[in-house]
Amino acid sequence: MLVNRSLKSELLSLLVLVFFTITFSHAQQDAWVYITDKQDVASSIANPISILTQKAIDRKAAHGVVIDERDVPVNESYINQLKGAIGITVMAKSKWFNAVHVRGTETDINSLSSLSFVSSIDFADKSLNTSKQSLQKKESKFQETFTAFNYGNTANQIEMFNGDQLHLLDYTGTGMTVAVLDGGFPNVNTMTSFQRLRDAGHILDDYDFVNRDDDVYTNTTSDHGTWVLSTMAGYVENEYVGTAPDASYYLFITEDGINENPVEESYWVEAAERADSLGVDVINTSLGYGGFYDNANYKYDANDYDGNTIYITKAANIAFEKGMLLVIAAGNEGNTGVYAPADSPNVLSIGAVDAAGSYASFSSVGSAIQPTQKPDVVAQGLKSYVIDRNDVIIGTLEGTSLSTPIIAGGITCLWQALPNKTNAEIMQLVRESASQYNSPDNFLGYGIPDLQLALNRTLSVKDIEGYEVLKVYPNPTMGSVYFKFPNNEQEVFVTIYDVFGKQVFSDVITNVNNQIDLSSLSKGVYISKIESKNISKTIKLVKK
């Protein structure tokens, strides 16, 4: 996990029944019980609104994602039978895996195999189950409409990847939905730093999967989620702006701030499944798993971080198949390497750099164990600015826990600008835009992304049917703008106006003379009207 190590130590020191707790944790085992079948699969898929929201159905249709058996919930009658079994506590469930996370003694859990609907049982303690790899979880080091924002403290961490240029083009996250799977979110419901978010109705819902509580704000064991959310959605006039201030958010607690147990994995899977059913576009996870304090046997080996072995990683792979884009913290373990689910080839794993763009020594490095380059990209994670539960802006914290949501917000805005792209296409655009795409390494991955470049490479004017007919780039520009014509066009008539409606340019642009020099114009936003026999479009041009 990527939470404050000292905070957890203080909380654990308050437990007076230490011996009892340790003894109990070893007597009690955790396991995943896999189920043989589901109920009413065909009818559920034929009538998807019975199992998914309309937004989820629309998102899947837009990106060619098939609704399948994995979208159908676990059979509740089976869950109830497990709940009624002697010595068994049901902790979580997963429709994607058709599995239930249970807790009990080894004997009581093994007795579940006699139930007709139980397909298999996988213990978290690998010594009890030779076929199942267990999960290790480790703490991370957490030390300390046209929009023109004054970013204040956050200027460097968003300008590093040109996220501010997306904001200038009105891509601030509007219409996009992000699920934050994290620790606690204390005071997000009252802090002035999130007043803008609340007034817009952009906190769509919340849920504490650890305590089964509809109100995440009652869980105050960790500030981690508040910090993370602030980097994306926080707003203080002229002092602080998150990277996706106008996106909508679901707040899900999946991290247990006191205990260390693989059930946190299962909580995460439940939250990811709910995010999918709600039509979420982007999942941000500043959590990483490698080992659990509650039982030393709950541990993964180094070779298990291969992108397809660990339970949470396999769930991340399914989440990607469902059309969501996952932005995951690489971890703060340095040479120890990335933890799950950042090892997945189907997520963007994020490392950390300092304010100057240099590698931060704590940031987890990739290895040959991962099937793809890890980390994928990096963002500022050293002395990043966040807002704490007391509504105070602080700039001394560090961790990939911060670099991850900082870039996740920017990527959310990029996907808003390119809504017809799939999750895989957006991820590749981000990688290709990065500073060392042609020479990646295991420290910075492909490097620092340039989201303005990613947008410019795909920015185009569309005709009424939606086919690409003309590319205009770069936008924003510091000087010249170029026009790339399709085969059926030879020339267009371009007129440019300032924001007051005054014409500042007018001329015919041809395939031969396809450049406009805007270097003499002042910085700002301009309106460009492009006309021909096949085209009649108006776009915004930004002069830097």
Helix (H) or strand (E) holding 89: strand 89-94
Q: What does the DSSP 8-state code read for residue 434?
A: S
140 given a catalytic annotation:
no
The C-alpha atoms of residue 110 and residue 33 are separated, in whole angstroms, by 10
Using an 8 Å Cβ cutoff, are 456 and 542 in contact?
A: no
CA distances from 452 to 164, 201, 255, 411 (A): 9, 28, 34, 11
Side by side, the strands of the sheet bearing 99-104 are 89-94, 99-104, 29-35, 118-123
Contacts of 42 (CB under 8 A, 6+ apart): none
Task: Retrieve residue 278's tokens.
Answer: 């709600």
φ, ψ of residue 407 to 5 degrees: the values are: -80, -30
As a three-state string, the secondary structure of 96-147 is: CCCEEEEEECHHHHHHHHHCCCEEEEEECCHHHCCCCCCCCCCCCCCCCCCC
401 given a catalytic annotation:
yes
The C-alpha atoms of residue 423 and residue 291 are separated, in whole angstroms, by 30
Using an 8 Å Cβ cutoff, are 443 and 363 in contact?
A: yes
Contacts of 400 (CB under 8 A, 6+ apart): 2, 140, 286, 288, 329, 330, 331, 332, 350, 351, 352, 363, 364, 381
Using an 8 Å Cβ cutoff, are 34 and 97 in contact?
A: yes
Q: What does the DSSP 8-state code read for residue 210?
A: T
Catalytic residue among 286, 401, 528, 532: 401
- Burial label for 436, CB within 10 Å (0-12, 13-18, 19+), is middle
Catalytic residue among 63, 101, 202, 224: 224
Beta-strand relationship, 89-94 and 99-104: antiparallel
Q: What does the DSSP 8-state code read for residue 181?
A: E
Residue type, 494: V
φ, ψ of residue 531 to 5 degrees: the values are: -135, 145
182 given a catalytic annotation:
yes
Count of beta carbons in the 10 Å neighbourhood of residue 508:
10
Catalytic residue among 71, 182, 276, 281: 182
Task: Retrieve residue 52's tokens.
Answer: 């998914």
As annotated, the active-site residues are: 182, 224, 401
